[in-house]
Amino acid sequence: MMYQYFDTLVTGIENVLANDPSQKSHRKLYALEVARLGRRLYSKTDCLAWCGVVAPFDLLAAMDVTSCFVEFVGAMLAATGASPEFLKEAEDAGFAPDTCAYHRAVLGAGRKGMMPEPDFFIATSAPCTGGLGVMENMAAMFQKRLFVLNIPQNDDPDSVAYLADQLKHMVDFVTRHTGKPLSMDRLAEAVARSNRASTVMADVYRLAEHVPSPVSARDLRNVGIVSALLLGTPEIVSVAEAFRDAFAARIAKNTPGVPGEKLRLLWIQNRIQFKNDLEDLLENEFHTAIVADELNDITWDPIDPADPFPGMARRAISIPLNGPVQRRVKHLVDMARRYKVHGAINPCHFGCRQGTGARGLVAQGLKEANVPVLNLEVDCVDVRNYAPGQMRTRIAAFVEMLENRPNPWE
């Protein structure tokens, strides 16, 4: 089913682009590459690794391993409307319904044969404990070897050295499974592409800061977290450049992403993955633009292609969802100022202890920076308890409140 889904997506987009080059948009290119990745995952032809969120995907690509974080499948199942079946499968197997639905969907998919069998697993302790649990369960389910990257909380020299050392152990682990040693030349090329892509994406995010913003809610949806899966590849550089060129063109033509932009919002953590009308509501009824996402940011410095492991370690440690919440709040406040947002929305993903667990501290920190936060109690993957009417009411009230506040940026 999932192979067919991705194959149909790929074919469809390729046909559109072949038949009508004017349709070649940044979002289509991005969707095409993500769909190609999905197809490779389910193709049964590639050496496949299921991973945690901050695994070094460019390093794995340089070793000819197709890799992906498992939550990607949870998100895809939600996007296709298929998640309830797999959530129920997991719950019937005894996985508590108040755990993260990304993980429950993946466990259910695994139990129902919907997760392609990997060659091995690479778990990461960041962003969350639940992620480690699901990887351990999957490794037992598939009877495959598991490697764990323990991501320290801080980027002090010892922690960076420890994680860099673990990455080298990981390389040995992968080599034992693939029989192919890592080529440092290939890794250097992959790192150079990652650096290039990151530099261009930083430009993309800077363009999004423009007032009015060139982005619509759909433009950068999930881009930060999903594009990490394509790091090291030539394709991500092309995709990043397409985004940059599109936004630059919109700014030049004074074509904002949300016509008549009245309010600007920062979206915290992840978007809601299943189909919902919140983004349309914000843009079309309230002329409110989601100009920034917490996870759409480059939080690391360029990595030295000649000695990439410390830089990759720092990259993993630097993600907003790792480390003390005080650091996370500082990053959010910085984003709020850069993007000149009027408010923030936090979809408090049910079962997310590491992210949503800090809901109050995050809201408090942003409040001190004069950025009101709307906490939406919603499960980003499980549509079964979604109450669109309630969400609409809460968003309408939030927007009304923002409209009646003095503009903090004037």
Residues near other proteins (CB under 8 A):
93-96, 98-100, 103, 123, 125, 128-130, 132-134, 136-137, 139-140, 145-148, 150, 152-153, 158-159, 162, 165-166, 169, 324-326, 348, 350-351, 353-354, 356-361, 364
> Which of 94, 260 has the CB closer to other proteins?
94
> Which of 117, 185 has the CB closer to other proteins?
117
Report the nearest approach of other proteins to the CB of residue 374 (Å). 15
300 with 134: CB under 8 angstroms?
Answer: no
Report the nearest approach of other proteins to the CB of residue 273 (Å). 19
380 with 349: CB under 8 angstroms?
Answer: yes
Sheet holding 120-124, edge to edge: 66-69, 48-51, 120-124, 146-149
Rounded CA-CA distance 160/316 in Å is 10
> Which of 128, 298 has the CB closer to other proteins?
128
> Which of 20, 158 has the CB closer to other proteins?
158
Element (H, E) at 120: strand 120-124
> Which of 165, 307 has the CB closer to other proteins?
165
**Nearest in space to 69 (alpha carbons), one of 61, 57, 80, 59:** 57
Instruction: Report which residue type is found at 85.
Output: E
137 with 107: CB under 8 angstroms?
Answer: yes
Rounded CA-CA distance 42/60 in Å is 17
Report the nearest approach of other proteins to the CB of residue 263 (Å). 26
Tokens 């968003």 -> residue: 395
Instruction: Measure Cα distances from 90 to 6, 98, 287, 320 in Å.
Output: 24, 12, 40, 29
Rounded CA-CA distance 333/378 in Å is 23
Report the nearest approach of other proteins to the CB of residue 167 (Å). 11
Q: What angle do CA 217, 362, 360 make, to 5 degrees?
A: 120
**Nearest in space to 138 (alpha carbons), one of 180, 168, 93, 84:** 93
Report the nearest approach of other proteins to the CB of residue 382 (Å). 14
Q: What angle do CA 381, 229, 227 make, to 5 degrees?
A: 80
Report the nearest approach of other proteins to the CB of residue 111 (Å). 10
> Which of 324, 388 has the CB closer to other proteins?
324
Rounded CA-CA distance 289/260 in Å is 10
Rounded CA-CA distance 51/173 in Å is 14
> Which of 81, 360 has the CB closer to other proteins?
360
Report the nearest approach of other proteins to the CB of residue 356 (Å). 5
> Which of 90, 239 has the CB closer to other proteins?
90
Report the nearest approach of other proteins to the CB of residue 128 (Å). 5
